[in-house]
Structures are given as C-alpha cells and as structure tokens.
Structure 1
C-alpha cells in the first residue's frame, strides 16, 4: 500500500534539511565560539554576563532561520515565508555577524547580537551540504554532499572541531590542542 501524499512530502522535507537535533548541537558549538570571542575581545562584563548571553543567543540563533519562517501570531502556525528564502539568506546573516562584531568594541551588549548571528551562520553552514542548499547571494547554492538527515554527525563534528579551534586560539594561548587532549586522556 502506497503512503499518502502528505507522508511522502514530509519525508522529502525531512531529508532536505539538517535535523533539529543537529541544529541544536551546532548551536551549542556556535555558543562556545561566540562566548570565547566575546570574552577575548572585552565584551564579557561582570561575572561574564555578556559572554553567557552571547552563548545563549547562539543557541537561539542556530534554530532561528527555521522558526522565523513560522507565523507564530496565527493559530495554524504555518510558514509565512517560504522555507530557505529570506530567513536563510547568507548575506543577511554574515552582515549581522560583521556589524555586531564591530559594535562589540563600542558596547558589550552587542555580544548578544554577535552570538545570535554566529548561531544563524552556523545554521546555514549545517544546511549547505544538502541538495536544497542555501541562498548565499542571489540563488541557492548546494554542496550536494548528502541529504542532511543521514550525515548530521559529520556536521556536528565539524562545528565542534571549529569550536575547539577557536577556543584553542582564543583562551589557550600557546597550548597545543593535541598535547592537551593527551593530558586529559
């Protein structure tokens, strides 16, 4: 017996985007990155409050391109923007990252915007390898490596490798990451 049309459509959508769990896991990695950079460049505040807020904002930003598409004000909660269009536009997220980065020099609260933008960029990087792609400039571009539902572990591992690289450069000056791993194990 063939599956109903709405089940087939749901399966197609599920294999064309990174899973929610992958976006959450990469969001935590983006949070580590944004907190490390906010702390390093002076936007930490008392008790590192701005670094902590940048961390939380990254986690929210990592899922933002998807939840910004939902019409939260309506009862049906349908999409009001077509998936992977305006909310996934790479230039917008990169511009937000750039301007918030430079604003941190003038006001530490910009670390929150930086964290949110860092999470959004991480979301786009997680969506980029699958066939649907991401609209970086004008049209969508895809790396066509896999359907993201199948290789989320690769995306998550790459994001945490990036977080490890940033933390090792920002917080652990002069400490070789491999030597540190050997000591921890």
Structure 2
C-alpha cells in the first residue's frame, strides 16, 4: 500500500479512538502514535534514495520490519503495562498503526513474511499498490468510525 493509503487508513483507526476513548488527551496520543506507526515498518528500514541506484536501505524492504510477530508480541506485552499516562496510549497507537500497516501490506501481491523474517512472503493479493482497490479499502476503513458514530447518535 502507498504512504497515502497507510495514512488514510490510520486516520480511520485514529478517528475510532476519538469515539471510543473517554479522554480527549488519551485519544490524541493514540492518534499521534497510530499515524506514526502506520508508516513505521517502512521507515524502520532506514531507506534513502540514490540517483544511480534507486531505493537503498539498511534493512531489505518487507523483511524484518514487516514481520508481524514482534509487533504482536509488543502489543501483547502492552496488556501488562499500567494504563496511566500519555505514554501508554502513544505506544498503543504506534503498535496499532504498525500492525494495520502489515495487514494492509499483506493484502497486496508483494505480501509480507509470516514464517521467517527473511523467508517467503505470503499475500492475499486483494489489490495492487496505487490501484483503485487500495483506495476502496482505505475509504472502507472509515466505515468503522462512521458506524460507531451512528450507533451513538441513534
């Protein structure tokens, strides 16, 4: 998925947090974390662009940073952390955004590694990056906060 698609999708999750969390400050911290985390699997590769060689990175694209198990274990560990202060919601949002990134990349033909971090990549091939399917999925995620809002109104 493109950077734009990841940001739009993270925005939907952040909007849902604003509707679900009782504290505006906690929801804001979750939203900031979610937006940062939504691009984290890509920027954690420490990539740069070279005039002669194109995209280069310290970590090959869609390998260790796109391996879901460390993200899942970190989120599971968060359940044992005290739920007080802005740090909790910032980290929770970051991990939620990172996992959302992985789920959205899993739906593209390139996929992500599910077994070994440098092993074969798995894919659902639901849409192509930059294609109309990506836009449909990103916009459809906004249905979640819309449904929550409608339920609260009616």
TM-score range, shorter chain: 0.7 to 0.9
CA distance in 1, matches of 2:17, 2:75: 10
Higher normalized strand content (fraction of residues)? 2
Q: What TM-score does the superposition give when structure 1 sets the normalisation length?
A: 0.66
Partner of 1:22: 5
Answer yes or no: is the 8 Å Cα contact 1:100–1:111 preserved in 2.
Answer: no
**SS of alignment partner, residue 78 of structure 1:** strand
Q: What TM-score does the superposition give when structure 2 sets the normalisation length?
A: 0.78
- Where in structure 2 are the equivalents of 1:62-101 lying within 5 Å? 62-70=38-46, 78-101=56-79
Q: Deviations over 1:64-110 (max 9, x none)?
A: 111111157xxx98310010011111112222223224425365531
Once the 2 structures are TM-superposed, how far is the Cα of residue 63 of structure 1 from its aligned partner?
Answer: 0.7
Q: Deviations over 1:16-42 (max 9, x none)?
A: xx11110111121122234455x25xx
- Inter-CA distance 111–70: structure 2 relative to 1 (3 Å threshold): same
Radius of gyration: which is bigger? 1
- The answer to whether the aligner puts 1:53 opposite 2:34 as a matched pair is no
CA distance in 2, matches of 1:163, 1:98: 24
Answer yes or no: is the 8 Å Cα contact 2:29–2:86 preserved in 1.
Answer: no
> Is there any run of 5+ residues in structure 1 with no aligned partner, and where?
1-17, 181-185
- Inter-CA distance 105–135: structure 2 relative to 1 (3 Å threshold): same
CA distance in 1, matches of 2:27, 2:47: 31
Answer yes or no: is the 8 Å Cα contact 1:54–1:115 preserved in 2.
Answer: yes
